[in-house]
Amino acid sequence: MLEQYKLIMPKTVYAGLNSINNVGEIVEDVKKVAIFTYENVYETGLINPIIDILVEKDIPFIVFKDLPVEPTYMQAQDVVERFNSSEADFIIAVGGGSVIDVAKLVSVLNTDKYTVKDLLETPSKAKKTIRTLMIPTTAGTGAEATPNAIVTVPEKSLKIGIVSNEMIADYVILDAEMIRNLPSSIAASTGIDALAHALECYTSKKANPFSDLYSLSAFELTIKNIESACDGNMDAKSNMLLASFYAGIAITASGTTGVHALSYPLGGKYHIPHGISNAIMLMPVMRFNEPSIRPLLVSAYNRLWPFGNIEKDEEKSAWILDRIEKIIQNLNIPQSLTSFGVSRDDVDELVRGGMEVKRLLVNNMREITAADARSMYLQVL
């Protein structure tokens, strides 16, 4: 465990049903708002309560409703340039991880001194110039809590994370009304993303008391609520929003590991949705890690099921991994790369891409070699 560690969080977080109503208090001193969202979120009317508040307060606004899903760095730069012509001084991001990540990038790019591409190479250049409010419409990415923005780099067939504390949100709203009608398939894949965040941060080499506090809470909330949330239970949906947020905080304090490292090439070249690619790689990586993380999995078992009847450590560890695998199966999340057009001929390139994500591989409790990565990719073909 690290000898020194830190915790970085959004300044103000509102949570609970109808907490969207706090937008009015947040924008009191704002001159013009830019709302970032997806076309489908706009069509559902989810941003209407925000617009009503802005109209009531006579605050001008502009809606960017065509934000790209899993954007390239060039697409993100295009949004930056359009925003910089809007004269807005506040961003409200309403959507999933991609919308929130682009909003984070825009918040530090209201300048002509550097671009998104520059931040890929030197993220320390980032300086926040625009305040942000993040309102997630999925419960999984935790993007509203993190200093990370993920963009695709087509020339490398890889997703790369830009990390800067300057991108931490100023405000966050966690309102389960925003995910009431989320399709169960999306609730499932994004929920498994939150579970991966929690488990990876808990078992990371950089784990510490701060990250453990949030990662274990997120893990417990996810294990106990994800299936009910996908079935429409609103209490479970509220708990999944908290789980996603907590896991995002854990990322800022610790960091993800081999699951995310090996999933990035799957999104970068094959455009497999991030939550699904993590779900596919979660079990191979965690079963590979098990000998090195067994005491941690035992502690997780003891916390979640203090009155369980399993006594042997290896059986408690196996039970945790089996339970996760069963959840993935119950949620009908794809578990084979073949269904996404990946073949054995592609494995060499996947291995090369995955092994480039050293920022995350160094966090993995057990060293992953190229041969190990190859074996794990082959397991899911």
Range of the domain at 274: 184-379
Instruction: Mark whether 330 and 293 lie in a shared domain.
Output: yes
Instruction: Mark whether 21 and 78 lie in a shared domain.
Output: yes
Instruction: Mark whether 166 and 268 lie in a shared domain.
Output: no
pTM, two decimals, is: 0.95
Instruction: Mark whether 241 and 341 lie in a shared domain.
Output: yes
Instruction: Mark whether 102 and 68 lie in a shared domain.
Output: yes
R_g of the chain, CA atoms, integer Å = 20
CA distance 253 to 245: 13
Instruction: Mark whether 152 and 291 lie in a shared domain.
Output: no
pLDDT recorded at residue 1: 62
216 falls in which pLDDT band (50, 70, 90)?
Answer: very high
Percent of the chain with pLDDT over 90: 94
Q: What is the mean pLDDT of residues 189-197?
A: 97
Instruction: Report phi then psi at 141, rounded to 5.
Output: -70, -35
Segment 40-97, tens digit of pLDDT: 999 999 999 999 999 999 999 999 999 999 999 999 999 999 999 999 999 999 999 9
Instruction: Mark whether 308 and 288 lie in a shared domain.
Output: yes
Please name which of 75, 163, 49, 269 lies closest in space to residue 277, comparing C-alpha atoms. 269
Domain boundary residue, one of 119, 145, 179: 179
> Is it the case that residue 365 has pLDDT exceeding 70?
yes
Neighbours of 209 (CB within 10 A): 11
Percent of the chain with pLDDT over 70: 99
Total domain count, the chain: 2
Instruction: Mark whether 339 and 354 lie in a shared domain.
Output: yes
Instruction: Mark whether 47 and 141 lie in a shared domain.
Output: yes
Instruction: Mark whether 128 and 34 lie in a shared domain.
Output: yes
Instruction: Mark whether 103 and 190 lie in a shared domain.
Output: no
Helices (H), the chain: 23-26, 39-44, 48-56, 73-83, 97-107, 116-121, 184-202, 209-230, 234-253, 258-270, 274-304, 313-330, 347-355, 358-361, 370-379
Instruction: Mark whether 162 and 297 lie in a shared domain.
Output: no
pLDDT recorded at residue 158: 86
CA distance 190 to 188: 6
